[in-house]
Structure 1
Amino acid sequence: MSKQMMNDTQKITQNSNYIASDMNGEKVMLDIESGKYYNLGAIGGRIWDISEKPVTVDEIVAVLVQEYDVAQDVCKQQVSVFVEKMLQEGLVEVNGAAVR
């Protein structure tokens, strides 16, 4: 597992090794290789959807601030932590390169 940290210019995108489905408003995912399941919740699922195409953390934050009642600085801090966890789990890739 990588300890790589994101910077503001790096773009993330979904790792194609996952099957994702919406279940009762939450995003549930299956890792095709390991069989491991993930539940990203509603907002985590929205972040997953936004990362369908390469996107920076700041671009994710801009979308979420428009859609939810959240301060930009709070949103950025929470999105950064969530994206780091997604990166560590291999759910997303940085600039097209898997990190696991």
Structure 2
Amino acid sequence: MIESEPVIENVRKALNDGMEMSVNISMETKISSGKQILSSDIGDEMVMMDINLGKYFSLKGPSGRVWELIDKETSVQSIFDILLEEYDVEAEQCQKELFALLHDMHDAEMIVAI
């Protein structure tokens, strides 16, 4: 479902090197985009820039769709339900990949868990 492109390579590397995820995300967690992130939809890709850190990020496909859905504060459950409706994916796989993506985004300070 959520393509395995290198969404945030340094965060994935840090996680693989033993850094623990910094937040507990559940289906009830509310998520909001970081205020310091500017984004633009360019074709099939969502390109973002953290204006405070000068870092660029790129999301494609379902990952970009997740970013669109968190433009305003929303629950992980709402994001999950929409992804299940819009993509041909099993619920278990969708939840696993959604949580991994949200943890990556949180650790890169792209989103805030409320």
**Fold shared by both chains (TM-score > 0.5):** yes
For 1:52 and 1:8, the matched residues in 2 are separated by 17
For 2:51 and 2:94, the matched residues in 1 are separated by 30
TM normalised by structure 2 equals 0.77
Q: How does 1:26-65 map to 2 (within 5 A)?
A: 26-65=45-84
For 1:59 and 1:76, the matched residues in 2 are separated by 12
For 1:57 and 1:81, the matched residues in 2 are separated by 12
Give the CA RMSD over aligned residues.
1.5
How far apart are residue 54 of structure 1 and its match? 1.7
Give unpaired runs (5+ residues) of structure 1.
Answer: 96-100
How far apart are residue 74 of structure 1 and its match? 0.9
Q: How many residues align?
A: 95
Give unpaired runs (5+ residues) of structure 2.
Answer: 1-18
After TM superposition, the runs of 4+ consecutive aligned structure 1 residues lying more than 6 A away are none
Match of 1:13 among 24, 32, 51: 32
SS of residue paired to 1:90: coil
